[in-house]
C-alpha cells in the first residue's frame, strides 16, 4: 500500500492509525464494528478514542491485531446514580417520551446533554444522563492496518 508500512512505525503520540475494530459487551453482543465498512482512522491523542482504549494500542504496528478487555474505569466510567434525575412530567412540552428513547437536554452552560428515558409515570420522568456504556466491561478487538506520522493541515 504505502511506503510507511514498510518502515514499521509503531503506535505512539503523534501517529495516525488506520484500523478495523469490533466493540462488544461482556455477553458478546456487538456494539460497533468497521469490519463490514471502511476502516477507522484517528490520530493518537485526538480524543476520538478514550485514553483507556489508546493505551492498549501503544507499540503496535501495521499487520498486528489484538483483543483487549476494557474495564469501566478505562472505558466510559462507572455508572453514577447521581446522574439519574427525576423530572416533572410537565417539563416535557410535546408528548411524553417512551422508555429507552435518547433525548437531548440543555445543560447549564447551554450545551447539549444526551439522556436516556428510564421510566415514565403519571407525574415524573426518570432520565439517566450516564453514558449508555457506563459501568460496562467492553471487548475491543482491533486489526492495525497502517501507522504513520500524523500530518498537520
Task: Assign a CATH topology to domain 3-76+135-149.
Answer: Chitinase A; domain 3 (3.10.50)
Cell matching residue 151: 500530518
Class of domain 81-128: mainly beta
Domain spans in the chain, listed from the N-terminal domain onward = 3-76+135-149, 81-128
How far, in Å, CA of 137 to CA of 153, rounded?
A: 36
**Residue 2 above 50 pLDDT?**
no
Phi/psi at 49 (nearest 5 deg)?
-115, 135
Eight-state DSSP code of residue 96: P
How far, in Å, CA of 51 to CA of 49, rounded?
A: 6
pLDDT in tens, 103-148: 888 878 888 888 999 999 989 999 999 998 999 999 999 999 999 9
Residue 4, pLDDT score = 43
* Bridge partners (DSSP) listed for residue 114: 104
pLDDT in tens, 32-70: 999 999 999 999 988 888 888 999 999 999 999 999 999
How far, in Å, CA of 32 to CA of 143, rounded?
A: 14
Amino acid at each position: 500500500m504505502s511506503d510507511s508500512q514498510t518502515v514499521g512505525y509503531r503506535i505512539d503520540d503523534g501517529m495516525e492509525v488506520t484500523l478495523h475494530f469490533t466493540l462488544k459487551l461482556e455477553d458478546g453482543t456487538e456494539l460497533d464494528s468497521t469490519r463490514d465498512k471502511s476502516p477507522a482512522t484517528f490520530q493518537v491523542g485526538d480524543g476520538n478514542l478514550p485514553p483507556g482504549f489508546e493505551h492498549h494500542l501503544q507499540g503496535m504496528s501495521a499487520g498486528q491485531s489484538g483483543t483487549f478487555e476494557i474495564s469501566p474505569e478505562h472505558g466510559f466510567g462507572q455508572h453514577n446514580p447521581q446522574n439519574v434525575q427525576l423530572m416533572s412530567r410537565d417539563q416535557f412540552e410535546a408528548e411524553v417520551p417512551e422508555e429507552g428513547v435518547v433525548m437531548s437536554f440543555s445543560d447549564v452552560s447551554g450545551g447539549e446533554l444526551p439522556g436516556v428515558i428510564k421510566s415514565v409515570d403519571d407525574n415524573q420522568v426518570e432520565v439517566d444522563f450516564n453514558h449508555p456504556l457506563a459501568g460496562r466491561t467492553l471487548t475491543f478487538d482491533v486489526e492495525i492496518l497502517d501507522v504513520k506520522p500524523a500530518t498537520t493541515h
